[in-house]
Chains A and B, each alone.
Chain A
Amino acid sequence: MATYVFTAEQLAQIEAIKSRYPSVQSATMPVLWLAQDAFGHVDADVQQLVADTLGLPASHVHGVATFYTQYYKEKKGKHVLDVCTCLSCHISGGYDMLHHLENRLGIKAGETTPDGLFTIQSVECLGACGYAPMMQITNDVFVNELTPEKLDQVIDTLKKGGSPDFEPIGLVNNRETA
């Protein structure tokens, strides 16, 4: 079992996060983010670390972590392809996109390629229904109005070490402004 600890700097960041909210409970989500950035995932041990650091019940942190697909409860591939299969995307072919990726990468949703490069996940609505079907890459870039060809391009770009650009639809990068 790996042991995780926050550095002094991270602990200072956590204090800063806590000071933004009237109750510690509210700090759960941003601190889980911080932990995921630090360790690459929030598995059971990291969840326990977050709970202990914040002085919250482990059950609470676990409940929050499992609620969001964006928190990785285990080690994932370098690029996590979150394909939306919720209502709007489903109707517009979300599952076809998912299956295309599965065939292309030779893994099923929820699995990681042997080279550790890609994980595919089928996720719930990401709030971009207007551009369905869509997917998000590693909790970051949204790729909209997917087609099999577009997916192939994205995979190629990622394999070459690049990253697809944000598409100009007026969305901002929430993670950076938060």
Chain B
Amino acid sequence: MAEIFIDNKRFEYDQPTKVLQFILDQGLDLPHFCYHPALSIPANCRQCYVEAGLPVFDREKNAYELDANGDRVIRWFPKLQTACSLDATDGMVIKTHVTSELVRRGQKDVLEFILINHPLDCPICDQAGECPLQEQTYKYGPEGSRFEHKKVHKPKRIQLGPRVVLDAERCINCTRCVRFTQEISKTHQLTIVQRGDNNYPMTAPGHVFDDPYSMNTVDICPVGALTASDFRFKARVWEMASTPSIDLTNGKGCSVDLWTRDNLVLRITPRFNPAVNGHWMPDSGRAAFATLNHDRVDKPLVRLDGEAIPTSWNNALLTFTERVTAANRIAVVGSPHASTEDNYVFKRFFEAAGKGAAVFVPHVIPGSGDGFLLSDDQAPNATGARLLGLAETQAAALAAEVTAADLVVVLNDDLVGRGVLRAEDLAGKTITFASNHNATTAAADLVVPVTNGAEHVGTYVNVDGRAQRTIPAKETSRTDRRLNLEMSSGRLDTFGTRFDNWVSDLNRIDCVPAWEFLTEASQELGTGLYYESARDVLAEIAARIDAFAGISYERMDDERGIALLATNETVSA
């Protein structure tokens, strides 16, 4: 075990490591901008300066040379070193700003240089509040600047591509964005143009930054130079709450954070998960924030004379149970888009009814995947449905089944919209659970509004067999952030009231998790299903189905998801 001394404390390490990464791994702070653990190390920002030295080794005595006090004699590197590019070596001694006046001075001076031409427009900058430049300047920067000449002006509000906007004046030329397109997404769309104090990142003339992963550059930009077109000026970061969740738009199930304010999801950003997505996520998954908020089924809908009319939950429950009781043969269509909990209760409910077994149709678009973070599978939980024992079926077989049945019940899956069934197949005999209006809800007689991944706790098993779960991020008409202690709260959630004018209570959707509605229906029919919570459902799944043995929300949280498939191979989608 090799040792390294940081600010007079001894640490041990066994894997080769860079000094900065090691310091960060210990939970210690060292200011830095250009270094990113997933990218190459250019050491261009010079912010991570430390003093470094090595003990003098006496080869003849085969021991470290000691001074009069019995301490090791240290030979210091003549100049400050960039910790990000410095390999830790056995016995190395590091002084950071904690113990070194020289380092403190170095950090201040580098920041003074970095800020020479920076516009210092934090009050109108989206990055403020989550800006490494702002934070580090507060913590380690100079009080003012000795550079009092006119600042260099550069292009502002440049639409680099459909989703990313550049303010070149804010850029500190760390090259993280450029390295991302070179090393991670490999589109090579960005470069640094010009030189000296005119530097900034840009695409080649006539080229557009339409990289399918372009918005990751917004996340890793350590300043407000790159911002997301769809999030600019929407909210200050401290007004939002962030909730760990997963991307439900693709079979890969990237770990994400949902950022909410006033019960609207305003943006979706990747959450580090080495087992799934590393630091990144595709732009397509981020666009889902709109579907989480808008075009939602709000209150149950019944079709009367061809028109969808909002109705009460009582009436919806009654209609549902009556139709199920009256039916002779039911086509029970589960969903690769719904959670494991919902699919499980759905399947059990109809097992009890005994009029048809649950099936599901995978949502796969062959060739749409990219071998990185987008799989061909468009649904987040096909593997979950499969492991629960829902029978996998295809369009033609399902159409036949639907024709033969006198009632079709669909669990949150736009079968018409994605071309599995035609609206005519469903007309006059369909009940669907749905969170958004779509072609299937338009064909149904009864639409039961259900929660989406931003509103419920749900387990989803991705294409690689990894089970991860969602945590509610936005309230429905039936949930309350202050009662559900699992929900995170932003500043406005905590301090706003329904009566002040900076929070809005309008964005709550009247919907329930499908399992909850089915539990009530089961009570109504006397078929004996009863669950208090999603946790209850999961506990039963874990107890009854081998593939899910030992699964719990706590484990999924602590272990960043649980691998359910013994082999590492990708489930054929």
Contact = CB atoms under 8 A, between A and B. Distances in A.
Contact of B194 (A44, A51, A59, A67): A67
A60 B191 CA distance: 6
A59 B207 contact: yes
B206 A59 contact: no
A84 B68 CA distance: 56
B400 interface: no
Interface stretch (B196-204, B430-438, B441-449, B562-570): B196-204
Contact of A62 (B181, B195, B205): B205
B373 interface: no
Nearest to A51: B204
Dominant SS among interface residues on chain B? loop
Interface in A20-56: 44, 47-48, 51
Interface string B180-220: 01000000111111111000001111110000000000000
Dominant SS among interface residues on chain A? helix
A44 B188 contact: no
A62 B202 contact: yes
B203 to A, nearest CB: 6
Contacts of B190: 59
Classify chain B: how many residues form its interface, as a range. Answer: 10 to 19
A58 interface: yes
Nearest to B188: A57
A83 B185 CA distance: 41
A63 B191 CA distance: 6
Nearest to B189: A59
Interface in A108-147: 124
Classify chain A: how many residues form its interface, as a range. Answer: 10 to 19
A63 B193 contact: yes
B204 A47 contact: yes
A97 interface: no
B188 to A, nearest CB: 3
Contacts of B191: 57, 59-60, 62-63
Contacts of B188: 57, 59-60
A54 to B, nearest CB: 13
Given A59-B191, A62-B191, A66-B193, 20 more contacts: A44-B205, A47-B204, A47-B205, A48-B204, A48-B206, A51-B204, A57-B188, A57-B191, A58-B204, A58-B207, A59-B188, A59-B202, A59-B203, A59-B204, A63-B191, A63-B193, A66-B194, A66-B195, A67-B194, A124-B195
18 contacts: A44-B204, A47-B204, A48-B206, A57-B189, A57-B191, A58-B206, A59-B204, A62-B191, A62-B202, A62-B204, A62-B205, A63-B191, A63-B192, A63-B193, A66-B193, A67-B193, A67-B194, A67-B195
Closest 5 CB pairs of A and B: A57-B188, A63-B191, A58-B204, A44-B205, A59-B191
Interface of B: 181, 188-196, 202-207
